[in-house]
């Protein structure tokens, strides 16, 4: 049955809209472009930094909304900031002290810049790989990234929306235990070997609610697509929630419907057969 009440399509990126090669296929591009032509807004909702979503946004002529860092920062296609939650300075200082004392690799994301631990080959490769991808797709970008030492960095790094630690599971588990004992902060896994630290009110739910308010729409007008547990909060602010075939069991249990996997253009196929 076609649904003509949908005004906002919200897509997680990795594992949902993007295939296993981190590609946005032609089928997905064409479908999302058609959605925009039909006056349906498109929102990318990801744990990624907003500038690391730009190549996928440009491919469809600009996503109407970018919800980045798991909801810590939300802005519209014209640059209007709809939602922002930054870490408290005191918490930020304690996090940096722990990372330094335990010799952990980390990336800090602010509203307009990225800071990575100096001489980290993993993080430097992450940055250069994305820049190479963007260039290959015809959307060259130079990410605003600066190498730093963790000692004293809390004094000059402001408006931190996310800190991500990269390490082995056991070390991340210990880091998680430490963070959980702090006030005014929360942490969650954002992928294998990754642990994100955020303001406690950050969630994809909060970000989407801000978008709904800006658009003056209700749950009935929203459909969300997801695959990982950090997408679950989105399902609570939409009447229509769709789990990918490759989704976690928790996501599948919470969804109102299902679609093909991310390697089978699941998002595109669902939209074409159920919305258009």
pLDDT tens for 113-134 read 999 998 888 899 989 999 999 9
pLDDT in tens, 198-246: 999 999 999 999 999 999 999 999 999 999 988 999 999 999 999 999 9
* DSSP secondary structure string for all residues of 199-263: -TT--HHHHHHHHHHHHT--GGGEEEEE-SGGGHHHHTT-SEEEE-TT--HHHHHH-SEE---GG
Eight-state DSSP code of residue 64: S
Distance (Å, whole) CA 199 – CA 149: 23
The yes-or-no answer to whether 8-84+203-274 and 89-198 have a common fold is: no
Local mean pLDDT, 10-residue blocks, the chain (276 residues):
89 97 96 98 95 95 97 96 96 94 94 91 91 90 91 84 94 96 89 87 96 98 95 95 98 98 98 96
Q: Assign domain 89-198 to a CATH class.
A: alpha beta
Task: Tell me the C-alpha to C-alpha distance, in Å, between residue 245 and each of 28, 82, 227, 228, 234.
Answer: 16, 32, 8, 11, 18
pLDDT at position 155: 79
pLDDT of residue 80: 97
Cβ atoms 154, 92 nearer than 8 A = yes
Burial category of 84 from C-beta neighbours within 10 Å (exposed 0-12, middle 13-18, buried 19 and up): middle
> How confident is the model at residue 193, as a pLDDT?
81
Residue 37's CB: how many other CB atoms inside 10 A?
9
CATH architecture of 8-84+203-274: 3-Layer(aba) Sandwich (3.40)
Per-residue pLDDT, 153: 80
Model confidence pTM above 0.95: no
Contact of 237 with 69, CB cutoff 8 Å: no
Sequence ranges of the domains in the chain: 8-84+203-274, 89-198
């Amino acid at each position: 049955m076609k649904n003509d009440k949908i005004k906002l399509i919200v897509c997680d990126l990795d594992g949902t809209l993007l295939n296993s090669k981190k590609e946005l296929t032609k089928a997905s591009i064409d479908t999302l472009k058609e959605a925009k032509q039909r006056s349906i807004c498109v929102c990318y909702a990801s744990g990624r930094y907003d500038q690391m979503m730009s190549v996928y946004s440009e491919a469809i002529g600009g996503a109407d909304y970018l919800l980045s860092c798991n909801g810590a920062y939300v802005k519209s296609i014209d640059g209007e900031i709809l939602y922002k939650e930054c870490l408290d300075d005191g918490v930020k200082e304690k996090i940096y002290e722990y990372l330094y004392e335990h010799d952990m690799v980390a990336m800090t994301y602010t509203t307009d810049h990225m800071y990575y631990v100096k001489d980290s080959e993993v993080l430097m490769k992450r940055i250069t790989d994305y820049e190479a991808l963007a260039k290959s797709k015809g959307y060259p970008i130079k990410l605003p990234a600066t190498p730093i030492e963790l000692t004293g960095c809390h004094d000059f790094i402001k408006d931190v929306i996310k800190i991500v630690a990269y390490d082995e599971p056991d070390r991340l588990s210990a880091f998680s235990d430490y963070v959980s004992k702090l006030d005014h902060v929360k942490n969650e896994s954002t992928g294998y070997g990754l642990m994100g630290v955020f303001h406690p009110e950050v969630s994809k739910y909060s970000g989407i609610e801000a978008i709904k308010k800006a658009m003056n729409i209700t749950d009935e007008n929203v459909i969300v697509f997801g695959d990982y547990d950090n997408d679950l909060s989105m399902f609570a602010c939409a009447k229509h929630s769709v789990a990918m075939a490759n989704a976690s069991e928790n996501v599948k249990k919470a969804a109102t419907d299902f679609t093909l996997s991310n390697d089978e253009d699941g998002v595109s196929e669902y939209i074409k057969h159920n919305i258009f």
